[in-house]
Amino acid sequence: MLIDGKQISKKIMEELSSEIKTITSKLGRAPYLSIILIGNNPASEVYVREKLKACKYVGIFGNLTRFDSSASEEEIESDIKKKNDNKDVDGILLQLPLPDHLDSEKLIEFIDPNKDVDGLTTENIGLLVSGNPRFVPATPLGIIELINRMGVELKGRNVVIVGRSKIVGRPLSIIMSGKGANSNATVTLCHSWTSNLIDFTSQADVLIVSTGSANTINGSMIKKGAIVIDVGINKIEDQTKKSGYRLVGDVDFDSAKTKASMITPVPGGVGPMTIAMLMKNVSLSTKL
């Protein structure tokens, strides 16, 4: 069965649109998301465009502040602090990755944790680890929402996550192994140093792959009947396409779909859910 993230995210966005109308009425203004974009990374440009489009759809005021790729940390810090002090700004998002000369972790820490809709400040990560999350990073939140809406029970299941990033793998492992609603799974977190990866992936009831490398996992590495969530999005050369490339995930879809009971496509799986959950976090930020 295909897990249609595009369709599920559309339903969530419709629900949020109704919620945002109520919030706007109470606040006397629309919720305000401030996005900071530094440089002209092509992928970032696409992601920001999609986020602003989603804002418009649900009724959030999305504002983009652009900086040249040569901008200094002091300039970015000053801008973030102004947005922190602006009571009309509900959420602040620093679009990653940043140019090499900028320290992303340092700059993220300047964001007011109550406006950190990406959930990446030390305070928000700490709250997540403690079991009392404020903001959960949008991609893990989207994966959880996909699983919930597909009616998948995690309690007691063997979950394997391939990839340990601060944005996806680590927060997801905390949520799924926790004691919250639809959690209590046994979680294994694999990464580039994991020996004999197939020994772990082939035992997974739920396999989540977020490595940033095309076709890391193929059908031979998957347990029959497993649920497969592919977080990756990679460009590979394809001269049959007008663009000269096509998008694929971190999982070899064609071989994996013959083994999996449920699987997300790329594109159209996790990606739309990430943006929907960002909108959900902005909605939450108006209540803090």
Burial annotation 127-160 (CB, 10 A radius, 16+ → b, else e): bbeeeebbbbbbbbbbbbbbbebeebebeebbbb
In the chain, CATH 3.40.50.720 covers 138-272
Give the CATH class of 28-115. Answer: alpha beta
SS3 content of the chain, % helix, strand, coil (to 5): 40, 15, 45
What gap in Å lies between CA 51 and CA 101, rounded to an integer? 25
Neighbours of 239 (CB within 10 A): 7
In the chain, CATH 3.40.50.10860 covers 28-115
Is residue 269 within 8 Å of residue 1, measured between CB atoms? no
Catalytically annotated residues:
51, 95, 118
The second-level CATH assignment, the architecture, of 138-272 is: 3-Layer(aba) Sandwich (3.40)
Contacts of 237 (CB under 8 A, 6+ apart): 244, 245
Place of tokens 């992601």: 47
- Per-residue pLDDT tens digits of the chain, which is 288 residues long: 999 999 999 999 999 999 999 999 999 999 999 999 999 998 899 999 999 999 999 999 999 999 999 999 999 999 999 999 999 999 999 999 999 999 999 999 999 999 999 999 999 999 999 999 999 999 999 999 999 999 999 999 999 999 999 999 999 999 999 998 889 999 999 999 999 999 999 999 999 999 999 999 999 999 999 999 999 999 888 888 888 888 899 999 999 999 999 999 999 999 999 999 999 999 999 999
* pTM exceeds 0.85 for this model: yes
